[in-house]
Amino acid sequence: MAKLRLAFSCLTIIFCGRNNQKTRADDNKTKFRASDTTKYAGLPGTWPRYAICFCALAHYISGCETIAIQSVASHTPMTPKELAAILTALAWPVTSLAILFAFRTRVVALLKKLEESLSIKGIKLKLFGAEIELTPDQADRALNELMQEVVESTHHLSAADIQLFERIYEVRGSLTVQELISDFTRESGEHKQLRKLRDVKLVRPSEGGKWEGIKHPVVTHFAEIFLKLKHESRLCEKSQVSEDYSGGFIRGKN
């Protein structure tokens, strides 16, 4: 019975400390923090106090050999040894559930913060002088449609157009149009190729304006991203993708 009384004393400490904290918080004369209240209970902290008392309760209940439980069928009292075995088996599960219940608020808050930090709520874009926000699903659909449009537009490029694009990509803007195409003149076949590549947003003059011999052709940022994505896609699906330059711009085939 002594151990049982000690267990109930632990519970008394918990609730008395809690009531004392509430009373002192309502009192405008004196304000106590959680550490002040735990001094009253004689334990290191508010939540550790609950955990320790629950552990102590489970431990001492498991050792209460003077409690007798009678069977419903036989009305035969259990021996202290049998009772201790049952309570010992139940002690730690009950204690674990009690601790989990005590810390449930903090665990839920932590999981919510983790979920918010790992999820993307939206993507903001500036379009026509205004800022719009797209959800991840909307951004994914818009990107897929844009990529599909670019792929379809490149189907009209010839092998010569693709070869010129690759040369511009390799020199990285270090050569002028005249250096890249020695016999370049406006309205020539090479000039039409540059126009076609510019219309599908693959190349542009770094200086801006119209195509001239002194301009430096460069690959657009979008084309670089497109090439990077296509390269990564080919690496991931190497067994299913083949390159075809004769009828389009790096098409994938099954």
79-128 per-position pLDDT tens digit: 777 777 777 766 776 777 777 777 778 777 777 777 666 666 667 777 66
Residue 245 has pLDDT above 50, yes or no: no
Residue 204's pLDDT band (cuts 50, 70, 90): very high
End-to-end CA distance of the chain: 79
Residue 6's pLDDT band (cuts 50, 70, 90): very low
Residue 249 has a pLDDT of 47
Q: How many other C-beta atoms lie within 10 A of the C-beta of residue 139?
A: 15
Q: How many other C-beta atoms lie within 10 A of the C-beta of residue 155?
A: 11
Residue 95 has a pLDDT of 76
Residue 34 has a pLDDT of 37
Cα gap 139→116, rounded to integer Å: 19
Q: Specify the 3-state DSSP secondary structure of 158.
A: coil
Closest Cα partner for 177 from 150, 156, 204, 149? 204
**Which fold is adopted by the domain 136-236?**
Arc Repressor Mutant, subunit A (1.10.10)
Q: How many other C-beta atoms lie within 10 A of the C-beta of residue 206?
A: 11
Position of tokens 């608020």? 105
Q: List where CATH 1.10.10 sits in the chain.
A: 136-236
Assess contact for 206 and 173: CB atoms under 8 A: yes
Write out the two tokens for 76: 């035969």
Q: What share of the chain is helix, strand, coil (3-state, %, to 5)?
A: 60, 5, 35
Residue 179 has pLDDT above 80, yes or no: yes
Write out the two tokens for 51: 């955990």
Residue 120 has a pLDDT of 62
Q: What are phi and psi of 133, to 5 degrees?
A: -120, 130
Cα gap 170→227, rounded to integer Å: 13
Q: Which residues contact 135 (CB under 8 A, 6 or more apart)?
A: 121, 122, 123
DSSP single-letter state for residue 181: S
Q: Which residues contact 126 (CB under 8 A, 6 or more apart)?
A: 132
